Amino acid sequence: MKSLQTITIGGRESRRLTAPIELRAIGDSEQSNIIFGYAAKFNSRSGNLGEANRQFYETIAPGAFDDVLLDDVRALFNHEADMILARSKNGEGTLTLGIDDVGLTYMFEAPDTQVGRDLLVSLRRGDIDQSSFSFTVSKDGQSWVQSIDENGATVFERTINKVSRLYDVSPVTYPAYEETEVDFRSITTLIKDFQPEETPPPAPLENHSLSHWQRRWGISKPAV
User: Is residue 92 situated within a structural domain?
Assistant: yes
How many angstroms separate the CA atoms of 28 and 17, rounded?
A: 29
Mean pLDDT of 197-205: 53
pLDDT digits (tens, 9 = 90+) for 141-197: 999 999 999 999 999 999 999 999 999 999 988 754 333 344 555 667 777 777 765
| Structural domains counted in the chain | 1
Given this model, what pLDDT does residue 15 score?
72
Is position 222 within any domain?
no
Residue 35's domain comprises: 4-197
Question: CA 109 to CA 95: how far, in whole Å?
Answer: 8
SS3 at position 156: strand
Characterise 91 by phi-psi region: left (phi > 0), alpha (psi -120 to 50), beta (else): left
Domain annotation covers residue 166? yes
119 in a structural domain: yes
| Residue at 205 is within a domain | no
135 closest CA partner among 114, 108, 111, 106: 106
CA distances from 145 to 57, 155, 157, 183, 195 (A): 10, 8, 5, 21, 11
Task: Please say if the pLDDT value at position 114 is more than 50.
Answer: yes
Residue 120 located in a structural domain: yes
DSSP string, 66-120: TT-TTS-EEEESTT-TTSEEEEEETTEESEEEEE-SSEEEEEEEPPSSHHHHHHH
Rg (CA), the chain: 26
- Asked if residue 53 is part of any domain, the answer here is yes
**Is 202 inside a domain boundary?**
no
Length of the chain: 224
